[in-house]
Amino acid sequence: MFWIVVLAVTFATLYWLLVQPYKYWIKMGVKQGNPVFLFGHLWGIPLRKQSNAEMIEMVYNISSTARYCGIYQFLTPALILKDPDLIKQVTIKDFDHFVDHGTIIPEECDPLFAKNLFFLTGKKWRKMRSTLSPAFTSNKMKYMFYLISQSGQQFVEHFLKQKKELITLEMKDTFTRFTNDVIANVAFGIECDSLGQPQNQFFLMGQETTDFKGFYKNTILFAYLLIPRVCKLLKLSFFSKKVGIFFNKLISKNIQSREEHGIIRPDMINLLLEARKHGSITQRDRNTIPGIGFAIAQEFDTGKNLKAQKMEITNEDITSQALIFFFGGFDSVSSLLCFMSYELAIHPDVQNKLRQEIDETLKSCNGTLTYEVLMDMKYMDMVISETLRKWPTAAAVDRVCTKPYTIKPERPDEEPIHFKEKDIIIIPIYGLHRDPKHFPDPDRFDPERFNEKNKTNIKPYTYLPFGSGPRNCIGSKFALLETKTLCFYILANFAIVPVEKTQIPLQLAKTFVMLAKNGFWLGLKRRCGDFLQDGLLLDLGAATLKLKIAWGRYGDPGRERGGGTRRVLDGFDFSR
């Protein structure tokens, strides 16, 4: 009899702990689909049956008419918001109730990861976002354009020197090397050539930092989602110790070099050093020059209610924020470039139209590429906007309830949904972008959706490639500028074509991040017999490229105060 009681209690406990949680949304009157024991709706990703994007599309379609639906991240319930008006209400009008993202790894376990802007919460996030925002205005983008353009020219020159008519490449690796060099230049103040020196330490460390495909990092992520208390007790770290040591040392030496030699650069490190020096939140400057494009996230003043406060910014804080560029640029921008290249390769009509715009732009500006000229390219912006519509680099974003909130019923079949602190909502970007109600024939790649006439018909909050509300992606301008710059240089010199290894149609890898199942294999085919301009010389026979970059009245952002000597530290050039 005793053992029967023990077994009954054990089964009852297991039911309460592992089965009862999956009735949460049913009790709330919310449609929830079919969760799988222990995994909830995330079963397909660890079992390599679904990509994260495919999972988001699946749960988005749980109900075709409901404004929202419920899912389970393992045992944790989360509400998927489908209605654009409700998304606006929660992420903007009632933002104070949903300020934070979910914190996966506690600060005491991995401070380099947890102190990143994306994972900061409450006042810490508001202060840091307000401090960093001036580094991402359109005015600052114009300064950074020179540094990005340098890397773009370096990229093209590398392949022109090979003197091959057709170069077959795995584009993810190739574009990641470009984004690595841009990040090194703009965020860390050093120069790299990851195509010419493929094993440089900065690239290898950046690659390890953003590798979400490995067994260890996926295990850590799942463990923190499933048994967070155990992981916290064991202090499991997301980054390896050598990554943290490398970047902390790199930033510390960079800062020391700047302070000793009076080096000033228009980059994020300089902004945070100024904030630390003056002990207050830096006010953002006004945007007085053209914006980046249609996909750009709307700006919000997150620090408007914050008075000037003492900013305790350590070197570790600066390192953690510099890693924003890795998470937002190293992987996301390279993925955007990959998907865009794929679509251009299989849609030669679109590519030809974009190349024609590039050629006309070069002629109209006498071969002098400027920030303003690049931003004025309307078809370029349409192509990138449609790429982000079809292949958003973030399939979804979450928000965590920070104070009690109620979603009021608007339909007869709805009941009030009461949120308490730490409850989760999810914005299903991939689902919204693939919903035929918002974008007819969603699998078709059609940049004309974003022409001057059609883009005005896109319903607000159905197109959210960089998120919604004050907690949107801070680096959206930087990502778009980086993408446009490299695309311009590539198509000015090459055609992007399918090769034997190109997978058509493209299938997504069964991972958290947006990747092609068998890689992005494409070819760069040299353009022959193109025009010559005074300011632009495309000498394909000699494999040379000379481009004039207009600096206007802004001067050289890499010039030092008090001298022009270049200073190199441990193989990295900190002076430019």
| Residue 113 in tokens | 């990861």
Contact 149, 510 (CB under 8 A): no
Predicted pLDDT of residue 554: 30
**Residue found by looking up tokens 């397909």 in the block:** 44
Rounded Cα distance, 330 and 175, in Å = 9
Rounded Cα distance, 576 and 568, in Å = 10
* Domain of 62, in residue numbers: 2-573
**Residue found by looking up tokens 């249609």 in the block:** 294
| Residue 450 in tokens | 């974003």
**What phi and psi, each to the nearest 5 degrees, are found at residue 417?**
-110, 115
Residue 569: burial class (beta carbons within 10 Å; 0-12, 13-18, 19+) = middle
Contact 246, 207 (CB under 8 A): no
Number of domains in the chain: 1
Residue 226: left (phi > 0), alpha (psi -120 to 50), or beta? alpha
DSSP 8-state symbol, 90: I
Domain harbouring 387, CATH code: 1.10.630.10
Predicted pLDDT of residue 551: 29
Rounded Cα distance, 41 and 22, in Å = 10
**Cβ count within 10 A of residue 453:** 8
Contact 128, 321 (CB under 8 A): yes
From first to last of its 576 residues, the chain has per-residue pLDDT tens of 666 655 665 555 555 556 678 899 999 999 998 898 888 898 888 888 899 999 999 999 999 899 999 999 988 999 999 999 999 999 999 999 999 988 777 767 777 677 778 888 888 888 888 877 877 888 888 888 988 998 999 999 999 999 899 999 999 999 999 998 998 888 777 888 999 999 888 888 877 776 666 666 667 777 766 677 777 777 777 667 777 788 888 888 888 888 888 887 767 787 778 777 765 544 444 445 566 788 887 777 665 555 545 557 888 888 877 776 666 667 889 999 999 999 999 999 999 999 999 999 988 888 778 999 999 999 999 999 999 999 999 999 999 999 999 999 999 999 999 999 999 999 999 999 999 999 999 999 999 999 999 999 999 999 999 999 999 988 899 899 999 999 999 999 999 999 999 999 999 998 888 899 999 999 999 987 543 333 333 433 333 333 333 323 233 333 333 333 333 334 444 333
Rounded Cα distance, 427 and 147, in Å = 34
Predicted pLDDT of residue 213: 62
Packing angle of the helix pair 241-261, 268-278 (nearest 10 deg) = 70
401 annotated as belonging to a binding site for a ligand: no
Rounded Cα distance, 213 and 457, in Å = 38
Contact 490, 351 (CB under 8 A): no
Between strands 494-498 and 166-170, the pairing is unpaired
